[in-house]
Structure 1
Amino acid sequence: MAVVELILCIVAAVVLSSFLSRFIPKVSTPLVQIALGAAGAWLPFFPAVELNPDVFMVLFIAPLLYLEAHDIDKTELLRSVKLSLSLAIGLAIATMVAVGFTLSTIWPAMPLAAALALGAALGPTDAVAVSSLGKEASLSARQRSVLKGESLFNDASGIVGFQFAIAAAVTGKFAVGEATGKFIISFFGGAAFGLIVGLAINWVFETVRLLGWENTTTRILMELFLPFLLYVGAEELHVSGILSVVTAGLLVRFDHTGVGPNVARTNIVSSSVWGVLSFTLNGAVFILLGMLLPGAMTASWSDPDVNNGLLLGIIVLVTAVVIVLRFLWVSLMLRIAPDIKTGKRRKMTAQRWRSAAVMTFGGPKGAITLSLMLTIPYIIASGDAFPMRDELIFIASGVIVLTLLLANFTLPLLAPNRDKNGSTELSEITIEVLRRTVEELTGRITPQNRRAVLMVIDSYTKRIGRLKMRTGMVDAAGYEQLQIQALHWEKEFVRDKLAAIKANPAPTKAEQELNVEACERILDQVMNSLRHIETNRKSGHAVSQIRGRLRGLQHRSMNLAKRAANRIRRTTPLVSESEITARTLALQAQAIEYVIQRLGEEMSRDTYNTEFCSALILDYRRAEASLKARPDVERSTEAADLAMEIKKESYGIELGVVQDMLQAGDITRAQAKALRRNIYVMQVDADSGI
């Protein structure tokens, strides 16, 4: 039961972190999750946690690294693979040696082997944190590919180096030749195992798909099962499970083969499942990290024999060694690496120095470092306690927190997100696509499909409104101006109607009075609405407003006088109030149809925004519907069914608009790809109802 409670608490903390991150965007989500985990560790209802590193690697790190390898840009990775491998192997070994000898020299009480183990554990970087830290920073595609490629490969080198350093600390012996041989076997053996399994998986799933045996459920379950199978299988063969997962993730491509709605539906479900699983596992890793940090640091902090000031100084020193060494290594690699296009080495400019700094702070330490440190045994071969175990864990925890903080606050300064309008630009393009789609739909309105098409236009108008709210493009003044113009159109229609009635009187006096009274009442309503809306008119309109108010008062006074005279004379009026109301509603419906027609004409012009016109049309349609005494349920159902068919057609219109904009050079291929991806998702959703 405790395990279930722990899982529920962690998931709740992950959900809470997603909300908190919205209110504090300057702080990365991993830091928020670490803080929540640390706070939860002190809460009485939060279960205690003891991390089993082997289980942790299987349940969390394996699937996350598989997904990271699977989704990485393979082209960019190939371009930067040399730099990534130099960081993953060369820098990891250099960090191990530099931290080990520095710490052992500065603090003689620390055994060299134990210090080397700490250095090895500080080799792996946390790509998950880098992805979250990019909210306020603008990392180039090359920088991201280098950092992600490094994180995919350096786990194996860090883990192997840590294991050999711990073995040396426990036994007191360290065989360089043997360690090197085992490292080569583990590294390349894991890569070979992942290569073989990845190719086999591709063949199996392509065959299953060709035979028509694949379905969504089995495909997703097998894909989720794959990273666990790879890791456990590689570890059983005593090769790197991490490298096998990464290699297979880079090779597996069964989710990109085949065409058709079933394949598209399966890919969408797969993407959704992995998206939820990825966020949950990422969050759980940092929540666990936060829960473990207080316990890992308390033992040393509360030890009276340990100088806490010295511990904090060591943390700063080790962090500085890691950061400075990483900066020098990256700078050297950038200096000697030939240019991709020219093949020549380039001098270090200010921009390239800044790039080196970005990749330096963009490699914070994280959960793998702490999980490795927690595997340090309590005793060594002689039966004595492992030397300074608690202090090592404390130092590693402090370095993790410092590197995460440095990455969170320095990356936005080094690589400010000057292209914050990138998403805004895509939103503006999306709005333009939707606007053109609405215009196309408006041109397809017929008396038979008018209601259904307007329902679809309503959904597009709401999408445009949401996008405009997100980008701050809402023009309230423009919409209000269109409302005022619509009221003027309604007033003109009723005035023309009244003039026609007076020019051609009805056969009977009662009918004539009924028509005139209906027109007068609607004019009063329209003029009253205009007086309330037009609040920012110039002084020249004040006279007309006063005249309108006096005219309305005169009309109401005359009606009251007529009623009073009829009561005094005890005579029946020519027309009853119910007849006037019915005639007024009928005339109101005609005026609404006239305004809707005018708004439809305006949608093909540039005077007013298309979405404003469509939104106001729907407002008038709602007003028209409220005039009807009984709703026609059967007709509403038919309209809804027809609207669904039109909605499916509208996606085709959207795709056509995107293609036209691409051919005209209004958008880039990357933008067109992003727009099409969203439309495809909606298409499959409409076809399958998922």
Structure 2
Amino acid sequence: MQGSQDCQTTTDPPALPVLLLVAGSAAVAGAARRTPIPAPLLIVTVGLAVSYLPGVPDYDLDPEIVLPLLLPPLLYTAAADSSYLGLRAHARAIGLLSVGYVLFATLAVGYVIYLLVPELPLTAALVLGAVIAPPDAVAATAVARRVGLPARITTILQGESLVNDATAITAYKVAVAAAVGEGASWGKGIGEFLLASVGGIAVGLVLMVPLHWLRTHLTEALLQNSLSLLTPFFAYAVAEKFGGSGVLAVVVVALYLAHRSWQVDFATRLQEDAVWRMVAFILESAVFALIGLQLPVVLDDLGQYDSPIVIWYALALFLTVVAARFVWVYPATYLPRFFSARVRRREPEPTWKGPFVIGWAGMRGVVSLAIAFSIPVSVHDGSDFPARSLILFLTFTTVIGTLVVQGVSLPPIIRLLRLPQRDTRRDTLIEAQAQSEASTAAEKRLEALLTEENNTLPGPLLDRLRTVLERRKNAPWERLGAVNDEGESADDTYRRLSREMIGAERAVFVELRDHRRIDDEMLRTLLHRLDLEEAAAYREETGD
């Protein structure tokens, strides 16, 4: 991503366009939280509007930046927030979507656009099919999180979007090789796909154990989190260096490290969670803003095409993309049950509603645009790549169309279908039972430790240990109990009163500093202790 040439000739600092992009997209994302509109849609819409304001530079979506620098951290955060056990439980559905559907969409969309556009060769049409085949990890995760999809559907969509980029990028490379005249065959395509998939997974498997060992043996949280920030870029680069899929390498490493995160000390986990939440927020916001800002870029070279014709192409392609997903999703849902008695025994009978939501939730995103911008300008004989500007425009309109049309309509569709929501009472019961077992083990451990002479404690401190333990044990049950006159459970009231008390202490510490009775260094130490106390008392609400 870079500013336009005109922008570079001004006296503005070179980093100014990037700073404006990050600050503006973050501001719009923050404003979106106060509206019923999902943040990705509002950011894209604002980006479209801002792209034609005077003085706004052109933001060219450079694939050399997006793919190796933006994609790895976004995939890493999405994979770390996923469940390894959940992904494994739905491996068949995820595989059919992330591999089978992407290849099907590449062929179906490519062939339809080949029939529609007279001057477009089949090889170039398949390039377009591969470019827009994969639903986007960022879009799927952002929208699924906002609309509150059932856990199974969310897991399947997240798993699909984590893996399908690898399939699409491989299909794209094969299609481009054929389009530019390098020659391609089914055997070569299958070989390249196997190399990318097996190689990427292998690199991830090789890296995940030493990275986890290093992560657990570093003694400072700052060093551990520095390693965490470098991990996705390192895994991606190593896999790409050896011809494997960097996407799969990042996903494998992230799933393993997240699954083993309990082995890292608490300070690292707290800091890592805060750091990655900030990184994900900034990158997701900037990515959606970049999508909207691409409009002037994709229109620059489209002058040779009549507007009614390209609009018809865009509409037909959008409808084909939507229809192709439904054509794949429903057979992929029901045919395994038809042919396998084991599947029928292990899995409940699906209704039509779940597949419909999965079919409608196929939003495209920045990865499709980045791949499209990497299409070569010319072929081997020196002539222009066939209809490259049209392919860029159709990719852009498909991305915008799926984000806006499907993204806006998905929440009301989910409400209309009355899909079963997560049973919060059942979840709280499970949490309470788990906490009860853990607290019982902690009580036994405490009593065993107290039999040793070097563990003798004064009565008040011992009572505090037991009170805190009892508090953790009872908190989930209290959330199921009665509420007070303010509509709060006992757990809510406890957290509110705790924050009020901590706030009073914090005000005193600041006043003491202002009157020079303590210095700033001591103030920071005291406030840090209060912050830890407040974090322990505060249970973050889902989605905040």
Does the TM-score normalized on the shorter chain lie above 0.5? yes
2:281 paired residue number: 279
Tell me the CA shift for residue 98 of structure 1: 0.8
CA distance in 2, matches of 1:649, 1:43: 63
The question of whether the paired residues in 2 share the 8 Å contact of 1:361 and 1:403 is answered with no
**Equivalences for 1:450-465 in 2 at 5 Å?**
none
Tell me the CA shift for residue 331 of structure 1: 0.6
- 2:57 maps to a residue whose letter is P
Q: Give CA-to-partner distance per residue, 1:383-408, whole Å, 9 cap, x none.
A: 11111111111111111111112322
CA distance in 1, matches of 2:129, 2:315: 14
Tell me the CA shift for residue 649 of structure 1: 10
2:530 paired residue number: 686
2:383 paired residue number: 384
Which fold has the larger relative contact order, with Cα–Cα distance below 8 Å and residues 6 or more apart in sequence? 2
- 1:290 maps to a residue whose letter is G
- 2:474 maps to a residue whose letter is V
Q: 1:685 to 1:24 in 2, by over 3 A?
A: same
The question of whether the paired residues in 2 share the 8 Å contact of 1:96 and 1:119 is answered with yes
Q: Does the alignment pair 1:402 with 2:401? A: yes
2:292 paired residue number: 290
2:205 paired residue number: 195
CA distance in 1, matches of 2:144, 2:53: 31
Q: Does the alignment pair 1:15 with 2:26? A: yes
Corresponding residue pairs, total: 451
Larger Rg: 1
Q: TM-score normalised to the size of structure 2?
A: 0.75
1:657 paired residue number: 474
Tell me the CA shift for residue 133 of structure 1: 2.1
The question of whether the paired residues in 2 share the 8 Å contact of 1:138 and 1:416 is answered with no
Q: Does the alignment pair 1:248 with 2:92? A: no
Q: 1:314 to 1:193 in 2, by over 3 A?
A: same
**Equivalences for 1:475-490 in 2 at 5 Å?**
none
CA distance in 2, matches of 1:141, 1:170: 44
Aligned with residue 235 of structure 1, among 234, 240, 244: 240
1:414 paired residue number: 413
2:319 paired residue number: 320
Q: Does the alignment pair 1:299 with 2:297? A: no
The question of whether the paired residues in 2 share the 8 Å contact of 1:28 and 1:135 is answered with no
CA distance in 1, matches of 2:181, 2:100: 26
The question of whether the paired residues in 1 share the 8 Å contact of 2:139 and 2:363 is answered with yes
2:107 paired residue number: 97
**Equivalences for 1:157-556 in 2 at 5 Å?**
157-171=167-181, 173-206=183-216, 208=217, 213-253=218-258, 256-258=261-263, 263-300=265-302, 303=303, 305-338=304-337, 343-344=343-344, 352-416=351-415
Q: Give CA-to-partner distance per residue, 1:579-627, whole Å, 9 cap, x none.
A: xxxxxxxxxxxxxxxxxxxxxxxxxxxxxxxxxxxxxxxxxxxxxxxxx
Q: 1:410 to 1:685 in 2, by over 3 A?
A: farther
The question of whether the paired residues in 1 share the 8 Å contact of 2:33 and 2:39 is answered with no
- 2:277 maps to a residue whose letter is G
CA distance in 1, matches of 2:353, 2:102: 22
- 2:530 maps to a residue whose letter is A
Q: 1:407 to 1:325 in 2, by over 3 A?
A: same
Q: Secondary structure at the match of 2:130?
A: helix
- 1:5 maps to a residue whose letter is L
Tell me the CA shift for residue 652 of structure 1: 5.8
1:145 paired residue number: 155
Q: 1:189 to 1:382 in 2, by over 3 A?
A: same
CA distance in 2, matches of 1:140, 1:385: 47
CA distance in 1, matches of 2:105, 2:348: 23
CA distance in 1, matches of 2:225, 2:420: 35
CA distance in 2, matches of 1:94, 1:387: 23
CA distance in 2, matches of 1:299, 1:654: 66
Tell me the CA shift for residue 337 of structure 1: 3.2
Q: 1:396 to 1:647 in 2, by over 3 A?
A: farther
Q: Does the alignment pair 1:72 with 2:82? A: yes
Q: 1:165 to 1:419 in 2, by over 3 A?
A: closer
CA distance in 2, matches of 1:135, 1:229: 28
**Equivalences for 1:571-650 in 2 at 5 Å?**
none
Tell me the CA shift for residue 19 of structure 1: 3.3
Q: Give CA-to-partner distance per residue, 1:457-483, whole Å, 9 cap, x none.
A: xxxxxxxxxxxxxxxxxxxxxxxxxxx
Q: 1:20 to 1:647 in 2, by over 3 A?
A: farther
- 1:291 maps to a residue whose letter is L
The question of whether the paired residues in 1 share the 8 Å contact of 2:150 and 2:419 is answered with no
Q: Secondary structure at the match of 1:385?
A: coil
Tell me the CA shift for residue 410 of structure 1: 2.7
- 1:49 maps to a residue whose letter is Y
Q: 1:423 to 1:306 in 2, by over 3 A?
A: same
1:51 paired residue number: 61
1:39 paired residue number: 49
Tell me the CA shift for residue 204 of structure 1: 2.6
The question of whether the paired residues in 1 share the 8 Å contact of 2:26 and 2:286 is answered with no
Q: Secondary structure at the match of 1:299?
A: coil
CA distance in 2, matches of 1:197, 1:184: 19
The question of whether the paired residues in 2 share the 8 Å contact of 1:336 and 1:345 is answered with no
The question of whether the paired residues in 2 share the 8 Å contact of 1:49 and 1:292 is answered with yes
Stretches of structure 2 that go unaligned for 5 or more consecutive residues are 1-11, 430-462, 484-488, 503-527, 536-544
Tell me the CA shift for residue 18 of structure 1: 2.3
